[in-house]
Amino acid sequence: MQKINLNSMLPTYCPGCHAQLKVKCLKCESCQTEVTGSYDLPVLALLPELDQQFIIRFVKNSGSLKEMASELKLSYPTVRNMLNDVISKIESYEKE
């Protein structure tokens, strides 16, 4: 699969105990204002990098699995199964 550069990936799990991380601080690069609190990470940010790339590709292909299959040189059911995996991961994050 051709990689889409997502730059430095946002860490989503604690390297020490593997618990889900929260956003504590946000900073404006322009005026240096900092906002602190405890914010949940968006569901999409919790997904592994490959799944995020898959979603970007899916959106870019206007949600056409057939086009994605021909782009990735994979069969239609394989791409559909990849989407099913992403859906089940999102559903499990939503339940947490």
Partner 1 sequence: MKRNNYWELLLNPFTRIAGLQAFGLGLVFVILMGIIGTFSHVRFDGVIDMHLVNQMTFIQSFTLLAIDILSIVIVMWITGVIVSGKIRFIDILGTMTLAKAPFIILAIAGFFTKSPDQTEILKNPGIILNSVSFIFLLILTLPVMIWSIILMLNALKVSCDIKGSKLTATFIIALLISEIISKVLIYKFL
Residues near partner 1 (CB under 8 A): 73-78, 80-81, 84
- Smallest gap from residue 48 Cβ to partner 1 (A): 18
CB 14 within 8 A of CB 21: yes
CA distances in angstroms from 47 to 30, 75, 90, listed in the order given: 29, 23, 8
Nearer to partner 1, 40 or 91 (CB): 91
Task: Look at residues 54, 45, 47, 46 and name the one whose alpha carbon lies nearest to residue 4.
Answer: 54
Q: Name the minimum Å distance from CB 78 to partner 1.
A: 5
Q: Round to whole Å and give the CA distance between 25 and 38.
A: 8
Cβ-based nearer residue to partner 1, 42 or 77: 77
Cβ-based nearer residue to partner 1, 64 or 81 = 81
Closest approach of Cβ 40 to partner 1, in Å? 30
